[in-house]
Amino acid sequence: MRSDGSQSAPLGLKIAAACGLLFLHLPILLIFVYAFTTEEKSFVWPPPGLTTQWFAVTWNRPDVWQALSLSVRVAAISTAIALVLGTLCSAAVSRTKFFGRETISLLVILPIALPGIITGIALRSAFSLADIPFSFWTIVLGHATFCVVVVYNNAVARFRRTSGSMIEASMDLGADGFQTFRHVVLPNIATALLAGGMLAFALSFDEVIVTTFTAGQQQTLPIWMLEELIRPRQRPVTNVVAMVVVLVTLLPILAAYYLTRDGDQIAGSGK
Amino acid sequence: MTSAVSFQKASRHFGSVRAVDAVDLDIAPGEFFAMLGPSGSGKTTCLRLIAGFEQPTSGSISIFGERAEGVPPYRRNVNTVFQDYALFPHLNVLDNVAYGLMVKGIGKAERHKAAEEALSLVRLPGYGARRPGQLSGGQRQRVALARALVNQPKVLLLDEPLGALDLKLRENMQEELKSLQKALGITFVFVTHDQGEALSMADRVAVFNDGKIMQIGTPEDIYQRPKTRFVADFVGSSNVLPPDFVQRYSGQHRWGSLRPESIRVGRAASGEGVSARLVSTNYLGATTKLALDADGLRLHAIVPAGTALPAEGEAVVLTFNREHLHLMDEPA
C-alpha cells in the first residue's frame, strides 16, 4: 500500500530531507571537484585553478593500472566462489531439515557480523600456522568469507519465497536433478544471485581491513588510495581514480536494482 | 489383472510418527479412487509414496506391476496435480504445460502443439501466452491439470486440487474432473478431506485415520454401511448409537449407526418410539436439521423443509425403520 502521492509534505520536512541528502552527497561532489584542481600538494578550497591534466597523468601511471587490475581480479574470483558456495549453502539450509541447520546458518552469517579486523587477524594467523605464503589467493580467500554471506542472504530469502512444491512438480514432470536446477531453480533465483553477486563484488572491491591482513606486497585499489593520500605527490590522481570508480560502478548497481525490482514483482504475482 | 497401484503392507514412518502404517491397497486401472480422511491421517503421504516423493520405510508398492521402491519421481509414469498447483512463475502457460515434454527432449513445435491440445482439453484454449500470475485460481487449477495430462500418465494423482476454490467453482470442477476421467480412462487417485467430494466423484473410497485405512468401498458402502464409529462419524456425520441402545432395538450388543435422514420426529402423544427433547432446529434450505436429546444421547435428524415441527424444548417421539439401523463391525 502506498500513500497518496499527490499529498504534499510540510516545508520543514522537505528542507530537512534536502539537508540530509546534501550531507550525504556533497562530500562526493567535492571529491569530483578536486579531481580537476591545479594544486597537487594539498586540497585547498576553493581550487586555485581547474585542469584536466590529471586524467592523462593517471592514465600513464602503471601503479594505478596494477592496483585496479588486482582489485577487479580479486573481486571477480571472490564473487564467483561466493556465488557457488552461497547458492549451495542456501539451498541446503532452506530446502532440507538436518541436525545443526540453524548453527550452520549462523556460522555462515558470522563473518559479516564480526569486525573485519577480527576476521583479518584470524585469517592471518591461520595462514601463517598453515605456512601459506601471502599471495593473490590469500586475498581472494579473505574476501570470499564475507562475499559468501551476501550471496547466501539473497539466495536464502528467494528460496524461502519459492514454493517447495515447484521443485517437486518439476521432478514429477520428468526432470532429473540437473534439469530441475537449470529450468526451474536457476531462473527463479537468478535475479537474487545477480543482486547478491553485484553486492559481493562491490564489497570486495572497496575492502581495506581484511585485505591489509591477508595481502602480501600487492596493493588493491583501496589500499593504493590509502597510501596515495599520505604521499604529497600528484594528489588529484586519487580523485580521478575515485571518480572513475564511482561512475563505472554506479551503472551496474542501477541495472541490478531495476532487474531485481522487476523480478520481485514477477515472483510476487505468481503467488 | 494387474492393479494400477498396489500397496503391500507399505509403511512410512517419520521417527516415531507412523504417517502411513502397514497399508494394503489395490487400485484398479481406470478407477477414480478417493483417499478420504482428516488432516494428518496419512492420505497425502500415501499419495506422495505413489508419486515417489517419499519412499516406504517397509513394505512394497507397485505401479502397474512394476516395483516402485527406489524409483525416483522423474522415472515414474505418474503425474501430480499439486494442492498449490506449483506452476512455474517464470514460464508462460504454454511453456508450463509443455514442461514435461521439453525435459523429455521433444521439439518445440511438437510440444507446443501438444500443450495447446491439453489446454483445449481443460477448456483454456488460447491462454498459452499468459503468465500464471495473471490467471484466476480456477484457471491455474486447469493449467496444472493440463500440465499433468499432457504427459499421458498412467496414473494421475490429485492432492486436494479443489481445496482453494470457492463453492460454485468447486462443484463445476468436480463434474468436469469426473467426465474428463471417464473420457481419458486414466486412473485418478484423489486426496480430499471433504467427504461430499469423495462420495460424489469416486468409484471407490478409502477412509484414512491415524495412518491406517479404516474402510475401503464404494461411496454407497461407506455411507450406508460404515464399519467403525470413526467412518460413521466422519463420512456424513451419522448418529453413532451405543451398544446398550442398539440392543433394545436389534437384540445385538454392538455399536450401531443411524443416518439423520432415517429418523422421523413426531409429537410426544403420537405413540411408541424413543422419547426425546427437541434442542434446536437449523434451517438448511431444502431440509431442516434437528438436534435432539434422548436421555442424554445426542442425536441429529434431518427432515424435509416444510414439515410441521414442534417448538424448541418440547418433548418428541423418534421413530425409525429397523432396517435403517446399521450394526457396525467394531466390537462393543
pLDDT at B271: 65
CB pairs under 8 A between A and B: 81
Task: Give every residue of chain B whose pLDDT is below 70, as ranges.
Answer: 1, 269-271, 332
A54-269: CATH topology is MetI-like fold (1.10.3720)
B79 and A173 within 8 Å at the Cβ level: the answer is yes
DSSP state for residue A183 in the 8-state scheme:
I
For B307, other C-beta atoms within 10 Å of its C-beta total 11
> Can you read off the three cell numbers belonging to residue A85?
558456495
A187 and B90 within 8 Å at the Cβ level: the answer is yes
B82 and A165 within 8 Å at the Cβ level: the answer is yes
What one-character-per-residue DSSP string does A133-148 give? PPSHHHHHHHHHHHHH
Q: Is the pLDDT of residue A5 over 60?
A: no
Q: What is the pTM of this model?
A: 0.77
Q: Where are the domains of chain A?
A: 54-269
More confident residue, A251 or B215: B215
Residue B134 distance to chain A (closest CA, Å): 8
Search chain B and give the residue with CA nearest A191. Answer: B90
> Can you read off the three cell numbers belonging to residue B156?
494421475
Q: Is the pLDDT of residue A176 over 70?
A: yes
Query: Which phi and psi angles does B312 have, rounded to 5°?
Result: -65, 140
Q: Is the pLDDT of residue A6 over 70?
A: no
Domains, chain B, ordered by start: 5-233 (3.40.50.300), 238-327 (2.40.50.140)
Q: Confidence band (pLDDT; 50, 70, 90) for A264?
A: very low
| A191-241 per-position pLDDT tens digit | 889 888 988 888 888 888 888 888 888 888 888 888 887 876 777 888 888
For A258, other C-beta atoms within 10 Å of its C-beta total 9
By C-alpha distance, which of B127, A9, A22 is closest to B144? B127
User: With contacts defined as CB-CB under 8 Å, which chain B residues touch A267?
Assistant: 89
pLDDT at B50: 94
Run of H or E including B172? helix B167-184
pLDDT at A270: 33
> Can you read off the three cell numbers belonging to residue B322?
429397523
Find the CB nearest A171 among B73, B132, B133: B73
pLDDT at A268: 35
Question: Within chain A, how many helices (H) and strands (E) appear?
Answer: 12, 0
Q: Is the pLDDT of residue A2 over 60?
A: no
pLDDT at B284: 84
User: With contacts defined as CB-CB under 8 Å, which chain B residues touch A168?
Assistant: 51, 53, 73, 80, 82, 86
Contact B33, B204 (CB under 8 A): yes
pLDDT at A1: 45
pLDDT at A269: 35
Amino acid present at A233: R
